[in-house]
Structure 1
Amino acid sequence: MTAQSIGIFTIAFPDPYTISYENDKFATLSSNVSFQYPITSNIQTLSTKNVERGNDPYGILFVPDLQSDLCKKNEGAFVPANATRQNNLPRDTEYALVAFAPWFSPDCMKEYFAAARTDPAVKSFLVYQPGTSLSMPPVMNDPSWGLGDGGSWKSANNFPTYALSSISGSIIVDQLSKYSGNITDAPHGHELASLFNPTDYVRLWATVNTESGSQLPSLWVFLVIVLGLLIIIIGSTSFCMHVIQRRRRNNLRQRVVNGEIDLEAIGVKRLTVPREYLEKLPLYTYSAGPNDQGLEKAHQDAPAQAENIPSPTIEGGTGLKSTPLTRPSSAPPLAAPSHGTSPAFSQPTCPICLDDFESNESQVRELPCQHIFHADCIDTFLISNSSLCPMCKKSVLPSGYCPATITNLMVRRERNIRRIRARSGAVGASAATPTQPSSVSASRPPRAFGSLGSRLGQTSIGRRVFSAPERTQSRPLDIEMSGANPAPSPAVNVIGSPPAPEISPAAVQPPPNNAEECTEPSAPNRREWARQRALAMLGNRHVPEEGEDEEPRRPLWRRGLRRVFPGFR
Structure 2
Amino acid sequence: MCKDPWSTANKIDTTATLFAGEGRAVNSTPTVNESVEFHFVIDGKVRTLSSQNTSDEGGTITGLFFVPTLDKKDPCNEATARYVPSNVTRQEDVADYGYKLIGLAPWISVNCTQAYFAAARAADAGAMVVYRPTDNQTKKPPIPQSNSWNLDDKGLWRSQNHYPVYAIPGPSGNYLMDQLALYSGNKTLDSIYGNASHANSTNISPFGQLGDIRLFTMIYLQPASTVFWPTWLVVLVIFVVITIFVVWWLVHCRHWFQQEELLTNRRGRELVRQENFERHRMRRLREQKVPREILESLPLYKYPDLAVPQQAILAEECRSKALLHEDKTTDPAPKRSTFAFWREINGPNSEDLILPAPSTVTTRGAGLSAEGELKEEPKGCQPWKTQTTCAICLDEFTAGESMVRELPCNHIFHSACIDRFLMQRGNFCPLCKKSVLPEGYYPHLPAVLPMQPPPMQNTSRFSVF
TM superposition score category, shorter chain reference = 0.3 to 0.5
Higher Cα radius of gyration: 2
TM-score in terms of structure 1 length: 0.34
Identify the structure with bigger relative contact order (alpha carbons < 8 Å, sequence gap 6+).
2
